[in-house]
Chains A and B, each alone.
Chain A
């Protein structure tokens, strides 16, 4: 079955430290895409970063990078130099071959001052 697994329900990180949020996925489709979204308490899902299954290089967007290990089926999000405003829920998601997007259960990140 196609699914996304996020094993960290919550994380506490000191401000300015780097943080890695784990995500593993399972799919038999050769073509797929992986996303990370941030959801603050307001509810809006904010797009952070995207990695296509055929992309050779890891995606980066400012302080966000995606550590894509295709053979291990993992797509971890790395946030460098964390800030207080990074405190939120983070969801890993996968676009399947049929264009549907499935989400993991999320990781709640707390940045400590």
Chain B
């Protein structure tokens, strides 16, 4: 059984462009959370999706948006990319209300 899968693994974008990152949760997990991890820092919570709706949101601007599909997979969209958006983006899945979070390997985004 595959765990959490993210695509692509690496991505290079130009400042001002838009990007979409994808996440497939572990089978049986209905909740997806997204995190941004800048170099040398711990992950920062972006938002969490359940039943195709955003349940929680961290301190990120509206340029960061997401979506969850009926099969529980999720997308993270970032508009008007800034150099500071360069980071590892991690997706985590879990059953709703449980403590555990299973993480994917992340997408490394570089904005030039």
Contacts and interface: CB of A to CB of B under 8 A. Distances in A.
A and B bind = yes
Interface in B17-75: 33, 40-45, 48, 55-56, 58
Interface residues of A, number: 24
A43 B105 contact: yes
A35 B58 CA distance: 19
A105 B88 contact: no
B102 A47 contact: yes
Interface of A is mostly: strand
A93 B37 CA distance: 14
A95 interface: yes
B31 to A, nearest CB: 9
Contacts of B56: 98-100
Contacts of B40: 105
Contact of B92 (A45, A50, A105): A45
B103 A99 contact: no
Contact of B108 (A43, A100, A102): A43
B41 A33 contact: no
Contacts of B55: 99
Nearest to B96: A99
A45 B45 contact: no
A25 B77 CA distance: 32
Interface in A58-105: 91, 93, 95, 98-105
A103 B105 contact: no
B56 to A, nearest CB: 6
Given A45-B43, A50-B100, A100-B58, 9 more contacts: A35-B99, A43-B90, A43-B106, A45-B90, A52-B99, A91-B43, A99-B97, A100-B45, A106-B42
Interface of A: 4, 33, 35, 37, 42-47, 50, 52, 91, 93, 95, 98-106
